[in-house]
Structure 1
């Protein structure tokens, strides 16, 4: 039997003997299993009548009302069409650079590229395009490369096209293909389901969350509603519709709401305007009514979604495996064991999240390092304080998700199948795959 403390008894503080909690060896829901390890089959927990009854209560009392509210709110907030700003509705084109030379006037600080158009009404024609080189901030354009161009309708052909950026479609598609193959090769059908969930996330972001915010809806409300719908689809699609997934989803949505509340409170307390965020000034210029403060909090919520999913699913699975190994484990024992697993997971995940936000702010931090400003002065600037609030609020949401999900899972599976206590049955063990 792949568990520790099997059949052992220990004394409590009063000298009484009680059964120790069985915890499967290699516990951690898939972390660190070696070729010879075994995992406990948790299907015995899902099929347990006691667990099914308790989970139905959680689903009826928590999940169904929350998911229903999210779906109704999404329908009400759905933006429809017409969210683009007129000044952004310019034509686009692509073309291959055939030659590059310096602009005739040295004061222009640009290169003059000859581009053969590969799409659009002028496809096949060769046009001159100026590529700025001031300050060396752009990557030089070379012959044979593909570039993206803006189109000024009605202008003469020689002035109609403007350089926008390098065309990176091909390398991005190659990277995405490698990623998809790696995910499916490692996780098989579950990996394929995860890719489908990723596609749903992309659709929700581009078709609901961003357009609804541009339409004038409250960004925080849109992020919470969209996040709840995304997590519902992602969890059930990736992990199946079962008791364990339902508990994990309940913990995810609850922690998501707490993250939004903390983000709203500390953004206001820290007097963050959102103007220091990358692209905020441009967005405000094209959409003057855009709520940048709400957009900042919405970004915190969306940024924490993926990590919340990982933490809650892992915690629910950990409690399920412990219960499969020891059906008579009490709620207190399950919570204690689950939290021991959660502490290690949270320690690494929180560090990952904070470092991710710090990495996004590296250019700003470099500027402050060059200026050699006092640390407290740097921290108080909005561009840095914004990233600190993002990282810490997201981390608090993750920390809260561990006890919330563990408590819900323990409530569902504690003291299940009491008849097994009188005549213990070895839990089914299956080789890890």
Structure 2
């Protein structure tokens, strides 16, 4: 009995999670796993060093082209909101002399309607800049007037340098939403802290690190013309190393999930490259892409789309891999007599259920993000197959399917890694002893 206990104790490692089940790992498999992660970590560090953005001046030139010299953005507090103007009637429509006396004359423009009726206007007091304290009136789109804008809200105004003898002109830019978004973010942090406690807070720290990698490395590197595939692989690997170990602890179980995640990212990248090439996607599908193409002529938009495919699947990929690794460890804890093949089979039963629910999550998440596009295409009443071929629709389909394939294949990959890494089967009576 003492000999068995000694072997069991030797199978454990200081890497095993302190809050996980009392299950060890195979020394040989553990060394192979850590060697793989060591190579991946060194490659990630090397990629960060070689691809780190150097602060190319052309990024500043591109950003300066959006605003004319002397133009500034000012904050203002809303003091009064007029009702939204009715939509201009097309020529030949009802209105003017029709049954509704308040309706605009047929063919009148929005500017004419505002001048005639005084609608669609917002009065505001400028809070920043040289004109602070000045009361101004600006026109806003009808949807802004109908959104619930009221006195006390803050808006952002564009100020153009005044000409000699003329009043400084202002125009509406957008509603400032920092305060409500900040309160919502605070509520999110509080709920996570109360429910998930320390583990949830560590996950939030990892999320912050991930955002920092995206803002300080991925985006600037892409703007400087970096290869989209290499930038995405390097940034994703760096994020996953930090997020997984920070949120789930340093353990063999987490390492198995990390290895599965990295391999899943590689599969997603391969599928994404192949799909983008075969579908001849350009990566320029909307006004944002066209604007980038105007100022960044040497930006590889297909590489940018590949990067988007990889980054889009990170969160869900991390979810399924850590779940599969934990499932295998828990199965070993409650059924120490199971062989590795049976352990893999039972782990995959859990994985299949997780795959089904996660696929729904991916598809509906993309559908919700593209709901306006779906409505517009439905309004056009075009055949479904012709919609699939449109650039904006095809991009979402390729992004969803490439991420989905990587996600699905990550489940058996992670389950196999965990089943091979966890300690060997033992008779139940020996384990209990």
User: CA shift at 1:401, angstroms?
Assistant: 0.6
Deviation at 1:414, TM superposition (A): 5.0
Paired residue for 2:40? 66
Which residue number corresponds to residue 376 of structure 1?
385
Asked whether 1:272 is paired with 2:281, we answer yes
**d(CA) in 1 for partners of 2:196, 2:225:** 40
Distance 1:70 1:275, change over 3 A: same
CA contact (8 A) 1:329 1:414 kept: no
Separation of aligned partners in 1, 2:156 and 2:399? 33
Q: Is the 8 A contact 1:114 1:126 kept in 2?
A: no
1:203 equivalent in structure 2: 212
**Bigger Rg over Cα:** 2
User: Structure 2 residue aligned with 1:402, among 399, 405, 411?
Assistant: 411
Distance 1:204 1:369 in 2: 38
Q: Does 1:340 align with 2:349?
A: yes
> What is the CA-CA distance between 1:55 and the residue it aligns to?
1.6
Q: Secondary structure at the match of 1:279?
A: helix
Q: Residues 232 and 373 from structure 1, CA distance in 2 versus in 1: closer, same or farther, beyond 3 angstroms?
A: same
Distance 2:332 2:286 in 1: 46
Q: Matches of 1:105 and 1:392 in 2, distance apart?
A: 45
CA contact 1:52–1:243 (8 Å) conserved in 2: no
Unaligned runs of 5+ residues in structure 2 are: 1-18, 86-109
Going from structure 1 to structure 2, the CA distance change for 1:287 and 1:334 (only over 3 Å counts) comes to same
Q: In the alignment, is residue 239 of structure 1 matched against residue 286 of structure 2? A: no
SS in 1 for 2:241: helix
**In structure 1, distance between residues paired with 2:250 and 2:66:** 43
State the SS of the aligned residue for 1:415: coil
Q: Is the 8 A contact 2:269 2:306 kept in 1?
A: yes
Count residues with an aligned counterpart. 378
**How far did residue 154 of structure 1 move?**
6.7
Instruction: Write out aligned runs for 1:8-157 (5 A).
Output: 42-45=20-23, 48=24, 50-60=25-35, 62-81=36-55, 82=57, 83-84=59-60, 85=62, 86-88=64-66, 91-100=72-81, 106=112, 111-122=120-131, 124-128=132-136, 130-133=138-141, 136-140=142-146, 141-152=149-160
DSSP-derived class of the 1:44 partner: coil
Aligned equivalents of 1:139 and 1:261: distance in 2? 47
Are residues 209 and 152 of structure 1, via their aligned partners in 2, closer, same or farther at CA, if it must alter by over 3 Å?
farther
TM-score by length of 2: 0.80
Q: C-alpha separation between the residues in 2 aligned to 1:111 and 1:175? A: 29
In the aligned structure 1, how far is the partner of 2:167 from the partner of 2:137?
8
Does residue 426 (structure 1) correspond to residue 428 (structure 2)? The answer is no
| Distance 1:137-1:54 versus aligned 2 partners, 3 A rule | same
Residues 147 and 266 from structure 1, CA distance in 2 versus in 1: closer, same or farther, beyond 3 angstroms?
A: same
SS in 2 for 1:96: strand
Higher mean displacement: 276-285 or 335-344: 276-285
Alpha carbons of 1:277 and 1:329: their partners in 2 closer, same or farther (altered >3 Å)?
A: farther
Residues 59-88 of structure 1: CA deviation (Å, up to 9, x unaligned): 11x111112111211122111434332224
Alignment match of 1:172 (pick from 176, 181, 185): 181
Q: 2 CA distance for matches of 1:127 and 1:289?
A: 45
Mapped to 1, the partners of 2:428 and 2:353 lie a distance apart of: 34
RMSD: 2.6
What 5-or-longer segments of structure 1 have no aligned partner?
1-40, 428-433
Q: 2:238 and 2:419 mapped to 1: Cα distance? A: 25
Q: For each residue in 1:212-235, what CA deviation from the matched residue of structure 2 results, as whole angstroms up to 9, or x when unmatched? A: 111111122211211111111000
Aligned mate of 1:318, from 327, 330, 337: 327
Structure 2 residue aligned with 1:292:
301
Q: Distance in 2 between the 1:388 and 1:186 partners?
A: 35
Q: Which moved more, 1:272-281 or 1:395-404?
A: 272-281
User: What displacement does 1:201 show?
Assistant: 1.4
> How far 1:350 sits from its partner (Å)?
0.9
TM-score, length of structure 1 as denominator length? 0.80
| Distance across 1 between alignment mates of 2:282 and 2:316 | 26
Q: Which is further off, 395-404 or 198-207?
A: 198-207
